[in-house]
A and B are shown apart, each in its own frame.
Chain A
């Protein structure tokens, strides 16, 4: 419940507040947009506070942004120990810089009388939240080692789900408390940003780099028009430069991922016979797989029942994979009475194939996001990201002569009967009429 609030409701409140709040503040009270520097009133402490704080936070925020924007690239890079250790060390150093800076920022607010004249409660609140945020971040970095390696993979999907408007707090449900705290505080900070001095972060003066040194403003349209005529060339040139820089930068960004293939295409590497043979065999393997798939499909279209296994071949602890009528992976087990249990192996969370091994509680595990499913009921255990049960699949047992002895549909309704003696020799089939299509 609190997860739902902190990681689904709060983020949207924060994002709406961030966007609408800052636009409204800019439109209604642009005058209040300022860095609100206090260097004029107090500059001895500030040098030791502002520099470490800003340098630290800029590096850390850039790191977070890169890791969560390009989780794939980042995770690959982080698999390299040199990269991982560098990132972790730099990150930790910066976090300590921030901690040092924010502590001094906080202290000077209380010890300097002049500063108190321009300090409001919100400023103290913001500094305290920043302190909490830096501390929890540091705690995560130190207690749950190698965050830069696991976090993009584990938390990236959560952020993605928020941004894609498919919020899913389940990604965070098994996270340690410090991680949860760090994320929740981040949302609080974003929510408060438009109403605090933090807005100055949104008016970073990047356009300074692109403008002419002098700025002349003409109030009368007549002279302005003349002036613009003369400046037209100048402006065009500047626009051209800006556009080229922008296009160039985006081209570079785009090419980062594809450059490798691009060059390979043109350079046409010479392959050794072995490499070529390997490539060919891989291709053949893929073709075979695809052919196999088509065969299965055909079989399922044409036949009313499909052989799964001899009942005696099935195990109670290790499931046997087979393909059901919908061409989905499925698992076959035996229960304690020796009767078959057939259920879909497609995880109801994001569609991974669940594992075939039963644990002590009689559950199978989806390795992608750690969902446990009880095979008897099919339902996921509490805390799993998956919320829906794996559906059971209907089956039929036939004797060697092809006579159906016992059948059970997906809901567990049985027809016919079977002698215990016949069990070991009977054959397990899945039946078209029990699958969704037949019904």
Chain B
């Protein structure tokens, strides 16, 4: 057992209102630079929809992630040691600018400089690459809230398992529904981007699992862009280097949550330390895809188990971190309550960002202007949910409905439990039965409610003890010398080479 610590995340989709505050916070801090305008290290997608870049989930096109080959070996879908060489000079699987959008601004100066005329001066859009006027054809969140649209929602790659009838039902005007899917880098424990980097510039930090790109080592071969199935690595067209979400590591190192976590107005984001077994990753990622959620969970180690603690200490994980892992909200959502699920586990990268699937607004449904409800459960049942379980299972459990159903049933049980407290209109017997069927105790239901609905920052962000001083102490670098080496770690202007 090789116990390692990982700063992991949970996004509670029931609470996401799609306000994009996270994206803006991230952009303002990290990607407001020439060459990085189109990068959204954090973006919020409307699902069903094509996402960003368009149809990123379609791995037959972009060829990211891992596959199990005929010899039962875990293998990169593309860009492995035999595949990268022919694609070094031209990569057919790399998304281009047209898969994102051409960044633009507006010619505001024209508002002041325009000569006197009959018409109001306008600020026309100009490309941020060429500086020339452009026709805007797409942009960030171009399909925002456009669920049900034939261009976007119907082309969602996650619909490929649904029958035509099911699809039609979903897109009938009365039933149209949508959810938001905020996405950052998953900081996978089995990252395909790291494995695909020919230059060895990408790496996973041993202490906290953050995946980073060494900008000095990156040679711009762009293998990672293709290899990341979540398309969370972006090529900076100006500097010729790839960039990705850094999980605001300068903030994490100093005990603060990342900017997108901190600014989230829906308080949907949770962060905490998880312990996992690095020895078994390959084995666990080779199981048939229906079993991937379970095998991924089996890698996460119980921080209360004395054996795990012993091994963790032996591996150099500090007692402070172990304590932090014990109080981690992530452990509760993912392992204790089994509410949170990985996004697209079938990519086999072992993402360390987990999602609580949305109950609201999926459940709400009216018929003849009457709110439809089940006499037995007050609310509708999850089987009748607007977004079919099949669709959610394509997102969160590789097509296996069981884990999604389990999670949804529990979420619904908590809601009924809470109604019984506030309204008192549910008989104790029925409540008990519902909770039993969902596999929850009353205490757990109360805990889930508290951590979901009322958490303060100290509950959501169980940040591990500050690492920076510790790291400085361990590496023997004096604070005077190491001063100013935070952030992107560069004191030099990131300029394009000649």
Contact = CB atoms under 8 A, between A and B. Distances in A.
Residue among A40, A203, A216 with the most chain B CB within 10 A?
A40
B141 to A, nearest CB: 21
Contacts of B238: 118
Interface string A214-229: 1111111111101100
B90 A47 contact: yes
Interface in A355-406: none
B176 interface: no
A211 B476 CA distance: 28
Nearest to A28: B492
Interface in B455-498: 470-471, 474-476, 490, 492, 494-498
Nearest to A114: B129
Interface in A238-296: none
Contacts of A199: 497
Nearest to A35: B220
Contact of A220 (B197, B216, B475): B475
Given A34-B218, A34-B219, A222-B474, A39 B316 contact: no
Interface string B211-222: 000011111111
Given A36-B240, A39-B91, A122 B81 contact: no
Nearest to A32: B497
A235 interface: no
B498 A216 contact: no
Q: How large is the interface on B (under 10, 10 to 19, 20 to 34, 35 or more residues)?
A: 35 or more
Contact of A223 (B92, B130, B198, B206): B206
B204 interface: yes
Interface in A37-91: 37-41, 43, 46-47, 50-51, 53-55
B497 A33 contact: yes
Contacts of B96: 39-41, 43
B155 interface: no
Contacts of A34: 218-220, 239-241, 497
B474 A120 contact: no
Nearest to B86: A51
Residue among A31, A199, A203, A217 with the most chain B CB within 10 A?
A31
Nearest to A195: B498
Given A35-B240, A51-B90, A208-B81, A220 B316 contact: yes
B190 A214 contact: yes
B200 A222 contact: no
B220 A213 contact: no
Given A113-B130, A215-B204, A219-B207, A40 B475 contact: no
Contact of B492 (A31, A35, A113): A31
Contacts of B51: none
Residue among B206, B235, B238, B317 with the most chain A CB within 10 A?
B206
B203 A217 contact: yes
B40 to A, nearest CB: 15
Interface string B122-166: 000001011110000000000000000000000000000000000
A29 B231 CA distance: 28
Nearest to A58: B89
A19 interface: no
A208 B220 contact: no
B237 interface: yes
A223 to B, nearest CB: 3
Contact of A216 (B129, B197, B203, B497): B203
Nearest to A39: B94
A211 B197 CA distance: 11
25 contacts: A30-B217, A31-B241, A31-B490, A32-B496, A34-B497, A37-B240, A40-B97, A40-B235, A40-B237, A114-B102, A117-B131, A118-B237, A120-B498, A195-B498, A203-B199, A205-B221, A208-B199, A214-B194, A215-B202, A215-B203, A215-B204, A217-B206, A221-B475, A223-B316, A227-B206
Given A35-B219, A37-B235, 19 more contacts: A35-B221, A36-B220, A37-B240, A39-B94, A39-B222, A47-B92, A50-B89, A51-B90, A54-B88, A54-B89, A118-B237, A197-B498, A205-B200, A205-B219, A217-B206, A219-B206, A219-B207, A220-B316, A223-B317
